Structure 1
C-alpha cells in the first residue's frame, strides 16, 4: 500500500530519529572504550611496536641498585605485574574513557571486547522479543517499547562504575538497538510502494545515519567525558514517543490481523494528507478482497510464525540464503566499522571518512537498485567489498591500505542496504516481521565475531581486512548458487511438487536440445499425482520458526542470517578497528563515518536499477578486497585508506542487507524474521571487539579477517532471489514462491530475452510480477497505478486471493485424478 507523496515525505522524515539512534548506539563504544597507549613499562619487549613492556615491572630494590651505581637492569631480576597503576598517552584520545578509568589493560584488556559482545547478545534477545511483539501486537507498540528501553538503559550507562554494571546496561541497550530502527524500517517499507521504497529506505540512512556517524567522534571530543557522551547519545531514544503521532500502524499488518476497518480509516486519513480521493470502487474491492483473505485464513485455522518460512522448498531456500548472506554482510560491515582503528591513521578522521561512505553508497543504491535489481547488485557490491578488503592487505599500511579498506566499506554499505530491502521484499507479509527479525538476529550472531576479527590486527594488521575480503566475496557469490544446480526432480515428486519437477524437466529440454514426448510427461504427471497424500490442515500460531519449514523460505532465511552476520561483523569490525589504523583516531573515525553518505547516496542511485542481489554481493566482496589489501600495504595512511574504502563498501552492503531481509520475508513473520536476522548479526558483532583486539597481536589481523568475511558474505548474496520491482510477500506461500523462476545469472541490468516457450505465459516480461503467482517473473520498470502506487494492499491481497483460488482448483483436480 502506498501513502502518496505527502505520506512518503512523512515516512522519510520519521526515519531521522531512528537512523540517528542506530548510528549513535552502533558506533558509541568505538569511541568510549578506546584504550590509549600505555606509557609506563620497564622490562624490554620484543612484541608489538613498543620497546618496553607495558604490563610488567621489575621487582627489586631500586634504591640499592642506584647506590651500587647500576644504570641498566639485570636480566635476572624478577618480573611482576605493574604495582602502581598506569599512565596513559592522551595524544590520540584526550579524554578519559571507561577503559582508561577502570584500567582495562593488560590482563583486563579483553573486557572492552567482552562488553561489546554482551551488547550484541542483548541485540539477539531483543530481536526475538520485539520481532514477536511487532507481528503479534503491531509495529508501533514494538517501536515505542524498544526506544523507551534503550533510553533508560542508555542513561543508566553513564552512571556505571564497574564492568558488571556497564555490561548489564549495554545488554539492555542491545535489546533496543537495531530494533528501534528495524521496526520503523518495516513500518515505512510496508507503507511505501516499490517506486519509492528504495529512495525512502536508503536516502534516510544516507543522510541521517551518515550525518550522525560523522558527527559522533567530534561530539565525543566536545563532551570530553565518556559519561556525558553516553548521556547525550541516549537522548534521541526519548523522541520515539512521538512516533504514533507521526506514523500510523501498518495497514498491511492490520489487514493480516483482520482489522479492515482500521486499515480503511488509515487510508481515509491519507486522503486528507495527500488531498486526493480514493475511488469508491477501489475501497470496495479492497474490503471485499480483504474479507476473502480473512475467511481463508480462518479456514486454515492457524497463526503464522517464523517457522513457516522453512516449510516449503523455495521459501525455505530463500530464508536460508537471506540468513547466510545477511550474516556475511553483517560480519563484513561490522568488521569494517570496528577495524577503522587498525588502519594506521588517525582513528577519528578515519572513522568519519568511513562513516561518510554511507551517503554516496545509499545515493548510488537509490539511483540504480530499481534499474539493476537486488540480486546482482547485492552480489556485486559484496564481492567488490571483499576485493577492496583483500587489496587493502596487499598495499602498504597507512593511506593506501586505509583507502582500499574504506572502499570496501563503501561497497559493503551498498550490500547492507540491499540486504535490508531484499529480505523485506522476499518474505511474505504474514511472517515478514518475524522473518526479517530472524535474519537480522543471525546477522548479529555473525557480528559477535566482528570484534574478534578486528582483534586479529594484534597478530597481523592485514588479518581483519583479509577475512572481511574473503567473506565479502563469498557472501556476494552465495546469492548465485541456487541457480547453478537444480533440485532433484525425484525428491520434488516425493514431496508432491510435481509442477516444479516438470519445470526442471522442461529446463533440461532446453539444455539438451531435445523434446520429451507429451505422453511421457502426462504419464509422469498422472503417476505422480497418485502418490500424493493429502495432509490435514494444522491449527497453529505463526512464529519465526515458520521461516524454516519450507525449502526456499528456509534457504533464504538461513542465507539472510549468515550474510547479515557477515555484514554485521565486517561493519562492526571496521568501526571498532579505526583506532588500530595508526592515524589520529578522531580524524580517522570521522572520515570512516563520512563514507556512509557517499555509500548511501550511491546505493540510492543504483539499488533500484541494479537490484539488491548483485549489488549486495559486489559491495561485500569489494569491502573484503579492500580490507585484505589494507594488510598488504604499509601501516598508516595507505593501510588506513584501504580500510576506509572497505568500510565504504561494507556500508553499502549493510544498507542493502537491511532492505533485503525486509523485502524477502513474509508479512506474517516479517518483524520476527528481521529481528532474528538482526539478532544473529549481533551474535556476530559480539566477536567484533575481539577481532579488533587482535591488533594487539598483529595490526593486520582485524582487516585480514574482515576482508575474508566480506568476500565470503558477498558471494552468498548471489544465492538470494532478486526483489527489485516486486511486491513483498504477504503469506508464507508467497515467500516460498518468491523468485522461484529466476535464474542464477539473472540481472536487472541485463533482462532475459523473450523465448518461444514464453508464449505459454502471456504475462511474462510485460507486467510487474506478483509474489502470489507461479507465473515467471522478470524485472521491469514501475507502472503507476490508479491511486499512485504499484504496492497497494488491495493489489497484494487480490493477488494472494487469486493464488489461494488456484491452489484450491489444483487440489480439486488432484482429487478427481
Structure 2
C-alpha cells in the first residue's frame, strides 16, 4: 500500500489529489479571469481610436447653418457639399484635411467652387459623433498630419509589452507567480485610471506604454500559474481555457464599447471590473505549489497541498504522501542541488545545446504567430460589418479554434497539430492574394484567423511543457518578447499594400508555412511530466 503512494516527481502528486483537483480548479477559474481583463484592455484600442468621418471646422459654414435654421443632420450634409472633394471614406484625403477659403465667398449667389482657393484646416476639425460620442482621436485631433500618432501608441504599447515579457518573466520565476501577477495587474489598472485624466496626448501614450508592460507581466504569470495548478493530463485543457478567456474578453470589449460611447467612461468601466477581479485573485487563489516546491518553501507547499487533499478520496493518507515527498526533497536541498530560479540567468537558456536549439525554433514560431495574428486582427474591418460586430466575430471565431486545437493535441500530439494549424493559416493567407471575390477573401481571412489562433494557443502550451520549472517563466517571457516584435511590425507590413496590394498576406502566408514546417522539429510532450531541472529539460525527447 505504501508503494502505491510513493511520489518521485511533483506531477505524481496529482495521481493522489486528482488531475483536476476541485480546489485547484476553482483557483484556476478565478485566476484565468485576469486574461479577460488583459484582452479587453488591449483590444479596446480599436474603440479608443476609431476611424470616424471628420472635416475642417469652417466658421462661415456654421453661420450659414444658423442663417438657414438647419438641423444638425442638414448642417452636416451642407458641410459635405462644401468639401474640396466629395469623398465618403474615412481615409485621410483632401476632402478631410483641407477647406475652401470662404472669406469673400457669397453663398447667396451660389458662386462656383472651382473659383475658390483651397488651404489646410486652420480652425481645427469637426467629427461625426453619431456612433462615438467621444474618442481619443477626436479629443486630441489625431487626424491629417497628426494621424501617425494613432499607430504610434499601438506600437509603443507593444514595445512596453515586449519589455514586460522579459522583465516580469524573470521576476515571476524569482519571486513567485501570484505575487508578480497581483503587482502587475494592480499597477496596470491604476495606470489606466490615471490615463482617464490625460490632458495631453504625450501623457496618454506614455502611461499606455507602461501599462502595456505590466499587462504582459500579469498575462504571463496567469498562464504559468494556471498550467501549474493542474496535472499533466489536464494541462492542455488548462492552456486552452485560458485562450477561451482571451476570446471572451475580445468579445466583451465590443459589448463595453457598444454600451459606452465615451472613451473615458469606457476605460473607467473596464478599470472597475479589473479591480473586482484583482480582489478575487488576492483572496481566493494560492501561490503555485509547484513553484513553492522548486524553491524549497516546504511549509507553504504543505499548507496549499493540505487544502487540495481535502477534496480527494482519502485526504489524510494523500496529504501524508505529499508531505513526505516535500520533506524528503527539502532535506536533500543544498546550495549545490538548489534549483531556485534566482540561481539562473537568462544566458542559461542558451548555454545547453538542446535547450538553445529549441529556444531559437520556438522564438521564431512565436514571432510568426504574433505577426500573423495581429496582422489579420488589424485588417478585420475588411469583413464589411460595423466595428462592434466585426470585433465580436473576430473574437468568436477564436473559441472553436482553441477547442478544436485542444481536442486535436490530445489525439495527435502537440507537434503535429501546431505544425498543421500554422500551415493552414499560411495557406489561407497566401490564397487571399490570388482571389478578388470579397466573400471568399473574408472567408479565407477567418480561416486564417482560426488557424493562427489555434497555433497561438498551442505555442503557449508547448513552451510551458518544453522548458524546466527553474527557467519556464523566463523562457516564456523571452519568447513572448520576440513575439511582440512581430506585433510591432504587423501594421507596417499591412502598410506595404501601397507598394503591392497582395504583399502583406503573401508575407503572412509564407512565414506561417515556414514556421509550421519548423514546428515538426520540436520534441513531442504529450503526457510527459513537466521537467523540473535544466538536466531534465536538456534530455527531454
Task: Please classify the TM superposition score into its range, dividing by the shorter chain length.
Answer: 0.7 to 0.9
Residues 163/461 of structure 1: CA separation in 2 closer, same or farther (3 Å cut)? farther
Q: Offset of 1:249 from its aligned partner? A: 1.5
With over 3 angstroms needed to count, the CA separation of the structure-2 counterparts of 1:15 and 1:71, relative to structure 1, is same
Q: CA deviation at 1:234?
A: 2.0
CA distance in 2, matches of 1:398, 1:37: 24
Q: CA deviation at 1:430?
A: 0.8
1:425 to 456, 465, 475: 465
1:218 maps to 2:255:
yes
Flag the 1:16–1:731 CA change in 2: closer, same or farther, 3 A: closer
Shift of 1:459: 6.1
- CA deviation digits over 1:483-518, x for unaligned, max 9? xxxxxxxxxxxxxxxxxxxxxxxxxxxxxxxxxxxx
Contact kept, 8 Å, 1:381 with 1:411, in 2: the verdict is: yes
> 1:299/1:154 Cα in 2 relative to 1: closer, same or farther (>3 Å)?
closer
| Mapped partners of 1:394, 1:290: distance in 2 | 62
Q: Is the contact made by 1:120 and 1:447 (CA closer than 8 Å) also made in structure 2? A: yes
Q: Following the alignment from structure 1 to structure 2, what is the Cα–Cα distance between the partners of residues 461 and 126?
A: 34
1:26 equivalent to 2:67? Answer no
Change in Cα spacing, 1:258 to 1:349, as seen in structure 2 (3 Å) is same
- 2:429 is matched with which residue? 389
Does 1:7 find its partner at 2:46? no
Do the aligned residues in 2 keep the contact of 1:203 with 1:366 (CA within 8 Å)?
no
2:492 matched residue in structure 1:
452
**Closer/same/farther in 2, CA of residues 116 and 434 from structure 1, 3 Å limit:** same
Q: 1:257 to 1:394 in 2, by over 3 A?
A: same
Quick check: 1:110 aligned with 2:151? no
**Number of equivalent positions:** 496
Following the alignment from structure 1 to structure 2, what is the Cα–Cα distance between the partners of residues 70 and 295? 90
Answer yes or no: is the 8 Å Cα contact 2:191–2:207 preserved in 1. Answer: yes
The Cα of 1:438 is off from its aligned counterpart by 0.9
What residue is the counterpart of 1:152 in the other structure?
Answer: 190
How far 1:112 sits from its partner (Å)?
Answer: 1.1
Structure 1 CA distance for aligned equivalents of residues 466 and 517 of structure 2 = 18
Conservation of the 8 A alpha-carbon contact between 2:27 and 2:286: no
Indicate the larger mover: 465-474 or 142-151: 465-474
Equivalences for 1:215-614 in 2 at 5 Å? 215-238=252-275, 239-274=277-312, 276-277=314-315, 278=318, 280-281=320-321, 283-292=323-332, 294=334, 296-298=336-338, 303-396=343-436, 398-456=438-496, 462-480=502-520
Per-residue CA distance 1:626-670 (angstroms, 9 max, x = gap):
xxxxxxxxxxxxxxxxxxxxxxxxxxxxxxxxxxxxxxxxxxxxx
Deviation sequence 1:172-206 (CA, Å, 0-9, x none): 22022132222121112112112111112212432
Given that 2:40 and 2:252 are in contact with CA atoms closer than 8 Å, whether structure 1 keeps it comes out as no
Q: Which residue in the other structure is 2:522 paired with?
A: 720
Maintained 8 Å contact 2:419/2:515:
yes
TM-score (norm. length: structure 2): 0.84
CA spacing shift, 1:446–1:61, aligned 2, 3 Å: same
CA–CA distance in 1 between the matches of 2:201 and 2:326? 55
Distance 2:477 2:339 in 1: 27
Are the equivalent residues in 2 in contact too, given 1:385–1:407 (CA < 8 A)?
yes
The Cα offsets for residues 682-735 of structure 1, whole Å up to 9 and x where unpaired, read as xxxxxxxxxxxxxxxxxxxxxxxxxxxxxxxxxxxxx43333222222222322
Match status 1:137 vs 2:209: no
User: In the aligned structure 1, how far is the partner of 2:107 from the partner of 2:283?
Assistant: 75
Deviation at 1:347, TM superposition (A): 2.6
Deviation for aligned residue 1:117: 1.2
Over residues 448-489 of structure 1, what are the superposed CA-to-partner deviations in whole Å (9 max), with x where a residue is unaligned?
A: 112323444566664443332223222222223xxxxxxxxx
Q: Distance in 2 between matches of 1:363 and 1:271?
A: 29
Structure 2 partner of 1:83 = 122
Is this contact kept in 2: 1:332–1:468, CA < 8 A? yes
Q: 2:202 aligns with which of 158, 164, 168?
A: 164
Q: Deviations over 1:298-348 (max 9, x none)?
A: 599981122111001110011111111111111111222222124444332
Instruction: Provide the C-alpha distance between the structure 2 equivalents of 1:99 and 1:240, rounded to a whole number of angstroms.
Output: 30
Flag the structure with more relative contact order, 1 or 2, with Cα contacts below 8 A and sequence separation at least 6. Answer: 1
- Name the CA distance, whole Å, in 1 between partners of 2:163 and 2:35: 21
CA offsets 1:592-651 (integer angstroms, 9 cap, x no match): xxxxxxxxxxxxxxxxxxxxxxxxxxxxxxxxxxxxxxxxxxxxxxxxxxxxxxxxxxxx
The answer to whether the 8 A contact 2:51-2:90 is kept is no
Distance 1:48 1:350, change over 3 A: closer
Q: Distance in 1 between matches of 2:504 and 2:196?
A: 31
Q: How far off its partner does 1:243 sit?
A: 1.9
Counterparts of 1:165 and 1:405 in 2: how far apart (Å)? 36
Specify the SS of the correspondent of 1:449. helix
Relative distance call for 1:298 and 1:478 in structure 2 (3 A) is closer
Secondary structure of the corresponding residue to residue 114 of structure 2: coil
SS, match of residue 150 in structure 2: helix
> Secondary structure of the residue that 2:343 maps to in structure 1?
coil
**What is the alpha-carbon distance in structure 2 between the residues aligned to residue 232 and residue 99 of structure 1?**
19
Determine helix, strand or coil for the equivalent of 1:160.
coil
Deviations 1:155-188 (A, max 9, x none): 1222223211110221122022132222121112
Would you say the 8 A contact 1:150–1:237 is kept in 2?
Answer: no
CA 1:459 to 1:353, structure 2 compared with 1: closer, same or farther past 3 Å?
A: farther
Q: How does 1:763-774 map to 2 (within 5 A)?
A: none
Measured after TM superposition, the shift of residue 72 of structure 1 is 3.8
| Equivalent of 2:114 in 60, 69, 73 | 73
Distance 1:244 1:97, change over 3 A: closer
Structure 2: unaligned runs, 5 residues or longer: 1-10, 57-81
Aligned equivalents of 2:272, 2:181: Cα separation in 1: 16
Contact 1:318–1:736 (Cα < 8 Å) also in 2:
no
1:144/1:241 contact within 8 Å kept: no
Contact 1:338 1:451 in 2 (8 A): yes
> Per the alignment, in what secondary structure is the counterpart of residue 419 of structure 1?
helix
Q: Which residue of 2 aligns with 1:199?
A: 237
Shift of 1:145: 0.1
Post-superposition offset of 1:79: 4.4
Q: Name stretches of at least 5 consecutive residues in structure 1 with no aligned partner.
A: 481-718, 740-817
Instruction: Tell me if structure 1 keeps the 8 A contact 2:306–2:319.
Output: no
The structure-2 alpha-carbon separation of the partners of 1:352 and 1:460, relative to structure 1 and needing over 3 Å to count, comes to farther
The equivalent of 1:737 in structure 2 is 539
Q: Partner residue of 2:99?
A: 57
1:17 maps to which residue? 33
Tell me by how many angstroms 1:279 deviates. 6.4
CA contact under 8 A between 2:181 and 2:218: conserved in structure 1?
yes
The root-mean-square deviation of aligned C-alpha atoms, in Å, is 2.9
Structure 1 Cα separation of the partners of residues 344 and 448 of structure 2 = 39
